[in-house]
Amino acid sequence: MTVQSAQTEQAMMDDKTAAADVLALAAAPTFAVMALLTAVLGGGQTDMICSPAHASGLGGMVPMYLLMSAFHLAPWLRLTVRRRSRGRGT
């Protein structure tokens, strides 16, 4: 493998990593917006399917979207920690 092909391969891997990072950061806000829209506009048929008879306050689409948003916060937390550590000069 030549140096140029190794650099090209590394650049492609960096592009794939950057795309994955963007997708990871997009998940939490997307689910939060979905929860907000579902709460404001109502869940309709899907809310009835996910929570039969609304027996629990934890049933339905809004809590599901909020939980999914919380579970996808890890990339944001890593980004915050990384930026704070750069700001301190360490």
Percent with pLDDT over 70 in the chain: 63
CB 25 within 8 A of CB 76: yes
Token pair recorded at residue 76: 């944001």
pLDDT digits (tens, 9 = 90+) for 16-59: 777 778 888 899 999 999 999 988 887 666 555 555 555 556 66
Question: What pLDDT is stored for residue 24 in this prediction?
Answer: 85
Identity of the residue numbered 31: F
Percent with pLDDT over 90 in the chain: 23
Question: What pLDDT is stored for residue 32 in this prediction?
Answer: 92
